[in-house]
């Protein structure tokens, strides 16, 4: 099956939007790099999955979304949660297992959630959140709220039953939902191409559900912003769902314990040369935005991460009575007896 990478005209993105996209990508990059450094200090509790190298996808969609839209993401969800406006300090504290974390230290890296900013959860079970995103879209459709649900998932999810069930239902009911496959080429340690019948696991399957095949450069912030506007606009106008496959690459391993030595050296070098943050900085410079203005954005981002780190480090451990709070509907496990 032949699928072409869609490259919208980047000249349509205005200057303020481009600066916002760059600011967001730099903040996301700096946050995750700091999270990795804190892991090396043995301060990050539990496992963590970084999205270094995938920032353009989160930034492009977040900037195009309305404040009341919904975001659903995977356990690699730091970027998507922060991009919606969630507190960086609360996210960092959550990674450190502190009581001032957004989930009081109980969720950790894999379950970041901030419903006040439309970040409806990071899901550790592969594919589990796609039907939930469809349900949120159905709710918006019934309420006629104009809200759109955007659901991010990895390439491995395309071989999970929930992917196909959610897509089918979304098309049949014409739900206001956008499914975005972040194809970083590997499902944990296995190349997606080695276990999938088609070259492009999401885009090449779109036609089976009557959807347009959309394959985009996930490392280009302008492209991601424009495809976000297009697909979100379609959903909000009542024209149903979209399925987007964004080609990208994680700079590190699947999780913090993975050295990613299974990836070919030449492949890694090729993708690193397409780093979305560096690439976008060069584009802004060539487009007439001064180096000083970009350095100011970078300095503010670093200061923001430093402040978030300090607040997180100073957070107290969660009190023991937090263990059962907000776990069951009545605040406890008495219903089991």
- Please state, in angstroms and rounded to a whole number, the distance separating the CA atoms of residues 5 and 235: 21
Among 280, 312, 310, 311, residue whose Cα is nearest residue 297: 280
pLDDT value of position 3: 54
Arithmetic mean of pLDDT over the chain: 93
Per-residue model confidence (pLDDT) at position 316? 94
Give the model confidence (pLDDT) of 216-255 as tens digits: 999 999 999 999 999 999 999 999 999 999 999 999 888 8
Average pLDDT over residues 81-110: 95
Domain regions of the chain by residue span: 5-311
pLDDT tens digits for 184-214? Answer: 999 989 999 999 999 999 999 999 999 999 9
Q: How confident is the model at residue 335, as a pLDDT?
A: 55
Q: What is the pLDDT of residue 322?
A: 80
User: pLDDT-based confidence at 8, cuts 50/70/90?
Assistant: low
| C-alpha span between 330 and 337 (Å, rounded) | 14
| Average pLDDT of span 51-75 | 97
| Per-residue confidence (pLDDT) for residue 259, from 0 to 100 | 85
> SS3 string of the chain?
CCCCEECCCHHHCCHHHHHHHHHHHHHHHHHHHHHHHHHHCCCCCCCCCCCCCCHHHHHHHHHHCCCCCEEEEECCCHHHHHHCCCCHHHHHHHHCCCCCCCCCCCCCHHHCCEHHHCEEEEECCCCCHHHHHHHHHHHHHHHCCCCCEEEEEEHHHHHCHHHHHHHHHHHHCCCCEEEEEEECCEECCEEHHHCCCCCCCCHHHHHHHCCCCEEEECCCHHHHHHHHHHHHHHHHCCCCCEEEEEECCCCCCCCCCCCCCCCCHHHHHHHHCCCHHHHHHHHHHHCCCCHHHHHHHHHHHHHHHHHHHHHHHCCCCCCHHHCCCCCCCCCCCHHHC
Q: What is the pLDDT of residue 161?
A: 97
pLDDT at 7: 60
Q: What is the assigned CATH class of domain 5-311?
A: alpha beta
Question: Residue 288 and residue 128: Cα distance in Å, rounded?
Answer: 44
Q: What is the pTM of this model?
A: 0.93
Cα–Cα distance for residue pair 331/138, rounded to 1 Å: 29
Confidence band, pLDDT 50/70/90 cuts, at residue 292: very high
56, 219 Cβ separation under 8 angstroms: yes
Tell me if 62 sits within 8 A of 69, measured CB to CB: no
What would the pLDDT profile of 118-167 be if each residue is shown by its tens digit?
999 999 999 999 999 999 999 999 999 999 999 999 999 999 999 999 99
pLDDT score of 256 = 74
Residue range 86-113: mean pLDDT, rounded? 94
User: What is the sign of the dihedral through the CA atoms of 103, 106, 107 and 108?
Assistant: positive
Q: Give the per-residue pLDDT at 329.
A: 64
Nearest CA-CA partner of 170 in 198, 137, 219, 199: 137
Cβ-Cβ contacts under 8 Å for 113 (sequence gap 6 or more): 81, 102, 103, 107, 119, 120, 121, 122
Please report the pLDDT score of residue 2 as a whole number: 41
* Residue 1 pLDDT class (50, 70, 90 cuts): very low
d(CA 206, CA 161): 15
């Amino acid at each position: 099956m032949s699928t072409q990478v869609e490259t919208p005209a980047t000249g349509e993105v205005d200057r303020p939007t481009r600066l916002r996209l760059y600011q967001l990508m730099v903040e996301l990059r700096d946050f995750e790099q700091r999270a990795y450094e804190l892991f090396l200090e043995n301060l990050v509790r539990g496992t963590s999955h970084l999205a270094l190298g995938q920032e353009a996808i989160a930034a492009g969609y977040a900037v195009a979304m309305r404040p009341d839209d919904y975001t659903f993401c995977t356990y690699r969800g730091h970027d998507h949660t922060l991009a919606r406006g969630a507190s960086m300090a609360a996210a960092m504290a959550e990674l450190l297992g502190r009581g001032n974390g957004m989930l009081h230290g109980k969720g950790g890296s894999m379950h970041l959630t901030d419903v006040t900013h439309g970040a409806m959860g990071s899901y550790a079970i592969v594919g589990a959140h796609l039907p939930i995103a469809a349900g949120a879209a159905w709710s918006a459709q019934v309420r006629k709220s104009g809200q759109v649900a955007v659901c991010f998932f990895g390439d491995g999810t395309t071989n999970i039953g929930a992917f196909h069930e959610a897509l089918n239902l979304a098309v049949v009911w014409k739900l206001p939902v956008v499914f975005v496959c972040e194809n970083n080429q590997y499902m944990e340690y296995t190349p997606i191409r080695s276990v999938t019948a088609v070259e492009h696991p999401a885009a090449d399957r779109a036609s089976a559900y009557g959807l347009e095949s959309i394959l985009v450069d996930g490392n280009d912030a302008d492209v991601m912003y424009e495809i976000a506007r297009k697909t979100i606009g379609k959903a909000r106008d009542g024209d149903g769902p979209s399925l987007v496959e964004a080609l990208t690459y994680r700079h590190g391993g699947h999780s913090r314990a993975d050295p990613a030595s299974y990836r070919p050296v030449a492949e890694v070098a090729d993708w690193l040369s397409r780093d979305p943050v560096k690439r976008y900085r060069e584009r802004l410079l060539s487009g007439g935005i001064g180096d000083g203005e970009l350095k100011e954005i970078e300095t503010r981002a670093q200061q923001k991460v430093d402040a978030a780190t300090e607040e997180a480090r100073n957070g107290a451990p969660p009190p023991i009575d937090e263990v059962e709070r907000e776990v069951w509907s009545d605040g406890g496990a008495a219903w089991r007896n």
